[in-house]
Amino acid sequence: DGGITQSPKYLFRKEGQNVTLSCEQNLNHDAMYWYRQDPGQGLRLIYYSQIVNDFQKGDIAEGYSVSREKKESFPLTVTSAQKNPTAFYLCASSISRAGVTKNIQYFGAGTRLSVL
Amino acid sequence: QKEVEQNSGPLSVPEGAIASLNCTYSDRGSQSFFWYRQYSGKSPELIMFIYSNGDKEDGRFTAQLNKASQYVSLLIRDSQPSDSATYLCAVNDYGQNFVFGPGTRLSVLP
């Protein structure tokens, strides 16, 4: 079954704690993305990666970190520096080759993070 | 700053009516355009994409693109209560950049 798997579905963070959200895809997509969505708001880009061992900051990268050691995996760490982490986190992937007309972005089911 | 704008709604239509959702974008280099449906508490689900000026139909959904006016719309015919959701418009420049609008909340009244 091809798709994007995010885990856990729900996550709770204690003050001062780092937490890591998992994202795995078996679509053979080159690009992977992390978005944050607050209630009633649109999607804001945190980080994206086009190839292994390379990633770029999005609009709201402060307080977050990522790694891309494998094509299939793009974990997001929410660090203690992120003072307001409560949100819905969405991982997405796309083919992302330049000039590809059907560069469609697909989403995982999301992780809902709350602060204890 | 590349921007995508949508009316936040809520847009309310009676069951069986046509729902019309609109989206404008600022980047003339945008090449591909997407409509996602997002139910409350769920992740976005792709329902339509369009690349060329004109209309593209898929079942009850029609996407309309006018690149000269930098405008893309989604029509939902015979609207059903199950269509009640937030609809996100997104644009892409054939690269890695996807820009999303804030979404329009649609409510279909039985």
SS3 B83: helix
Of all residues in chain A, what percent carry a pLDDT higher than 90?
Answer: 76
pLDDT value of residue B30:
87
- pLDDT band for position B2 (cuts 50, 70, 90): confident
- Across the interface, of A43, A98, A103, the residue whose CB is closest to B32 is A103
Cα–Cα distances in angstroms (integers) from residue A110 to residues A9, A47, B25, B42, B94, in the given order:
6, 15, 26, 7, 25
A54 CB neighbours in chain B (<8 A) are none
| pLDDT band for position A44 (cuts 50, 70, 90) | very high
Q: Is A25 on the interface with B (CB under 8 A)?
A: no
Tell me: pLDDT of A97 over 70. no
Secondary structure (3-state) at B21: strand
What's the confidence (pLDDT) of residue A99? 61
Contact B88 A48 (CB under 8 A): no
**Chain B residues within 8 A of A114 when measuring between CB atoms:** none
Q: Which of A35, A103, A108 sits opposite B92 (nearest CB)?
A: A103
> Half-sphere exposure of residue B47, counting CA atoms within 13 Å on the CB side?
23
Q: Which two tokens stand for residue B30?
A: 């945008």
Cβ atoms within 10 Å of B2's Cβ, excluding its own: 13
The whole-number average pLDDT for the span A54-70 is 96
Omega before B110 within 30 of 0, i.e. cis: no
